[in-house]
Amino acid sequence: MPDIKHFDPDTTLDQVVRLFWQRGTEVTGIADVVQATGLSRSSLYATFGGKPQLQAAALGRYLERQSRPVFEALAGDTRGVPAIAAFFERLVAARCSGEHARWGCLVTNTHATASGGLPEIREILDRHHDALRAAMRAALEVARTKGQLRAGLKLGDAAEALTLQAYAVNLRSRAGAEAAVLLAGVRAVLDGFTTTEERR
């Protein structure tokens, strides 16, 4: 007779995402997950596997629910540089205030941990990076058509730099950096990409 689950795996996964995101995966053990979800170890293992598999599932959920909608909105924005600036303004606001203030980004936080080297984790980190970089590249391509970028700027390199800037915002905000400082750093990077007229 098949085993019948008496809990909702999707709800449990959302709880795990929140736990890993807020506390950090390295310091959160299965005992903490058991306490937060109210499930037994056997139920967790039977549904998700061990901690690496549970972490991969949580990262995948975070990518699809938290990150990808934002990336798609950026890629579809037709304003060019103002769209990129708005992306960072929203990012800084989310990281420094509100429900998830000072939590950073679950994906970015994972980059700084030993588990980031596990194949099942690395694959999701790479997908996240590629999606963010592609969204930045799309916004930059719009900016170029509008004459907002300085001559000779390599869009691939600029997209990579902006992606790394997003990681910096995530990490520094978790460490307590002020919103104004983070935004000033973003503006300095964008100023290096844009024409003199665009900066006025």
Instruction: Map out the domains of the chain with their CATH numbers.
Output: 50-199 (1.10.357.10)
Mean pLDDT, the chain, whole residue set: 94
For residue 118, report the phi and psi dihedrals to the nearest 5 degrees. Answer: -70, 135
pLDDT tens, 83-111? 999 999 999 999 999 999 999 999 999 99
Q: What type of residue is 54?
A: L
SS3 at position 73: helix
pLDDT tens, 179-195? 999 999 999 999 999 98
Averaged pLDDT, 40-48: 93
How many Å apart are CA 83 and CA 166, to the nearest integer? 14
**Whole-model pTM?**
0.92
Q: How far is CA 150 from the centre of its chain?
A: 28
pLDDT tens, 60-88? 999 999 999 999 999 999 999 999 999 99
Q: Angle at CA 112, nearest 5°, toward 105 and 75?
A: 40
